[in-house]
Amino acid sequence: MGKKRASLPIRQLLVLRSKPVFSIFLVFCVFAFVRLNRSKSRSSTTDKSSIDEKSKLETNPKVAFLFLARRNVPLDFMWGAFFQEANVRNFSIYIHSEPGFVFNESTSTSPFFYGRQLNDSIKVAWGDSSMIEAERLLLKVALGDPANQRFVLLSDSCLPLYKFRDIYEHLISSPKSYIESYFDFEDDRYDPKLLHAIPKDRWRKGSQWFTLIRRHAQIVADDDVVFPIIKKSCKRQSNASVSARRQMLDLHKPQDCIPDEHYLQTLLAMSGFENEFFRRSLTYAQWNQSATEKDKQWHPFTFDYTDASPQSIREIKEIEAIHYESENWTEWCQVNGAFAPCYLFARKFTRGAAVRLLSEGLLGPFDPVLFLNATRRFFPVKHRDIQAR
Ligand SMILES: *[C@@H]1O[C@H](CO)[C@@H](O)[C@H](O)[C@H]1NC(C)=O
Ligand SMILES: *[C@@H]1O[C@H](CO)[C@@H](O)[C@H](O)[C@H]1NC(C)=O
Ligand SMILES: *[C@@H]1O[C@H](CO)[C@@H](O)[C@H](O)[C@H]1NC(C)=O
Ligand SMILES: *[C@@H]1O[C@H](CO)[C@@H](O)[C@H](O)[C@H]1NC(C)=O
Ligand SMILES: *[C@@H]1O[C@H](CO)[C@@H](O)[C@H](O)[C@H]1NC(C)=O
Ligand SMILES: *[C@@H]1O[C@H](CO)[C@@H](O)[C@H](O)[C@H]1NC(C)=O
Ligand SMILES: *[C@@H]1O[C@H](CO)[C@@H](O)[C@H](O)[C@H]1NC(C)=O
């Protein structure tokens, strides 16, 4: 009671104070109403189809699947089964492959891929900035369709871990992008002489396999500041020059820099958008450190028929959090406050592995009961150096 009373004078005061404004507003409203009605009746016949078109787009956001392929997409049969269950208005496909490579009956068993190759694709060297250029080309073309609201970058060895409907709902309901991004305090790739235009505290590292909301896709496509710097100054060193410098006991470490492991993360950190994405990739890769090589390089493990067991797929699906070792930071996987699987896609899988997964029906729907029952699993992101693909 008392509370209600106390608030009354304030409301009255507001009404009184705004009275002159209100009358002007009222006049404006009447005017606007008349105009609106007039234009409505005028346009009702001519613009109806375009209004329908627009509302259709608004209610049916699409997920754009961007395939970065060397040539064909070896797991096309699996993606075919995946897209088969989708509404064609809910997704679009774009492929960047070798220039001149054509996706047709001769090169792919899945009609979903026919005619989806970019017409202006470029020659890509893995681990080179040309890979980022290809990603930006994919984004530019996909942005041409205003219905595309989420942009998922996939390699030619990626596969989906869930059915289309689950992945679609997950992506569309999440208002944020997904980008693996972290500080690496031991990082020796940052060369202040070359990269001075990028402050060291904005230098980030992480996997290139992104999922972007439209706004971030636009930022990447429009970027003409960070990409030229990375292209010029972040380069992978050849084995010869690395070992030559080691032999000369060159104390200045060679800046072996892999552009695609820094570009997107650093761009968004530079643009001040770090609070708008989840700091993790939706694409799983198992990192193995090779014991044989002197360098102890990290490699993404390739799953073949025997490795793609129900057990290994379940283990990937049960991962609930990502632990960044270099920052001692644990990122719990959530969307809109609810726990969610960390990974929706995984790489690298052979055709044999995909055949097994399909035939054993392992890519079933997301099962919350199974998920909540699962033993806690963390995915450690270690300091890793050279990535082989
Ligand atoms: C397609 O999108 C509509 C609206 O966004 C959604 O209701 C429907 O479940 C989606 N269908 C599939 C198969 O994902
Ligand atoms: C597929 O495209 C290639 C290159 O254009 C062409 O040589 C081949 O005949 C095509 N195959 C079919 C089945 O259309
Ligand atoms: C490339 O051009 C062909 C022929 O004009 C067209 O059918 C195809 O859709 C284009 N590809 C993309 C990704 O736009
Ligand atoms: C660099 O060395 C690694 C192993 O030491 C080898 O696998 C790779 O092929 C070499 N790359 C080049 C370009 O020589
Ligand atoms: C490498 O991968 C194999 C196969 O999954 C696994 O058994 C092994 O533990 C991995 N090794 C490391 C060092 O991660
Ligand atoms: C990491 O953080 C936890 C708590 O957040 C702390 O207990 C632990 O000591 C930290 N570990 C290291 C190596 O800093
Ligand atoms: C979940 O865990 C409970 C208790 O451990 C068990 O009784 C139940 O069968 C489990 N459910 C599934 C689907 O694994």
User: Could you tell me the residue ranges of all domains in the chain?
Assistant: 58-381
State the alpha helices, DSSP H only, in 174-317.
192-195, 214-222, 226-233, 239-247, 263-270, 310-317
Q: Residue 304 carries which side chain, given as an amino acid letter?
A: D
pLDDT tens track for 213-248: 999 999 999 999 999 998 988 887 765 555 555 555
Specify the ligand 3 atom closest to the Cα of 118.
13
Contacts of 10 (CB under 8 A, 6+ apart): none
pLDDT of residue 323: 87
Sorted by sequence, the CB contacts under 8 Å of residue 245 that are 6+ apart come out as 254
- Ligand 1 lined by 173 (C-beta under 6 Å): no
Q: Which ligand is nearest to the CA of 85?
A: 1
Is the per-residue pLDDT at 59 higher than 70? Answer: no
* pLDDT for 349: 95
pLDDT surpasses 90 at 164: yes
Distance of CA 213 from the midpoint of ligand 7 (Å): 36
- Cα 171 off chain centre by: 10
**CB distance 311 to ligand 7 below 6 Å:** no
Helix residue ranges per DSSP H, 201-343: 214-222, 226-233, 239-247, 263-270, 310-317
**pLDDT reported for residue 142:** 98
Query: What's the CA-to-centroid distance between 113 and ligand 3, angstroms?
Result: 11
With CA atoms as reference, report the closest residue to 386 among 261, 247, 246.
Answer: 261
For residues 278 and 342, give the distance between their C-alpha atoms in angstroms, rounded to a whole number: 10
Report residue 171's pLDDT band, with 50, 70 and 90 as the boundaries: very high
Nearest CA to ligand 2 atom 5: 102
pLDDT at 48 over 90: no
Phi, psi of 209 (to 5 degrees): -80, 90
Do 204 and 180 contact (CB within 8 A), yes or no?
Answer: no
For ligand 4, whether the C-beta of 239 sits within 6 Å is: yes
Give the span between the Cα atoms of 375 and 3, in whole angstroms: 50
CA distances from residue 104 to 72, 88, 101, 107, 309 in whole angstroms, order as listed? 10, 19, 10, 5, 32
Mean pLDDT for the chain overall: 78
Worst-scoring range by mean pLDDT, 21-30, 86-95, 175-184, 262-271?
A: 21-30
pLDDT for residue 336: 86
pLDDT of 389 higher than 70? no
Q: Is the dihedral of CA 96, 98, 100, 101 positive or negative?
A: negative
Q: What is d(CA 226, CA 28) in angstroms, rounded to the nearest whole number?
A: 47
Ligand closest in space to the Cα of 325: 6
Predicted TM-score (pTM) of the model is 0.78
249 lines ligand 7 (CB under 6 A): no
User: CA of 258: how far to CAs of 98, 164, 203, 296, 386, in Å?
Assistant: 21, 32, 13, 17, 8
- What's the whole-number mean pLDDT along residues 19-31? 40
- Span from the CA of 327 to the centroid of ligand 6 (angstroms): 9
Q: How far is CA 294 from the centre of its chain?
A: 33
Tokens 């530019």 correspond to 140
CB 371 within 8 A of CB 341: yes
**Interior/surface letters 133-165, b for 16+ CB within 10 angstroms, e for the rest:** bbbbbbbbbbbeeebbbbbbbbbbbbbbbbbbe
Q: H-type helices in 44-143, by residue range?
A: 48-59, 76-84, 129-143
Residue with tokens 């003409």: 224
User: Which residue owns the Cα nearest ligand 4 atom 11?
Assistant: 239
Residues 6+ positions from 253 with CB-CB distance below 8 Å: 188
pLDDT category of residue 144 using cuts at 50, 70 and 90: very high
CB 378 within 8 A of CB 179: no
Confirm or reject: Cβ of 57 under 6 Å from ligand 1. Answer: no
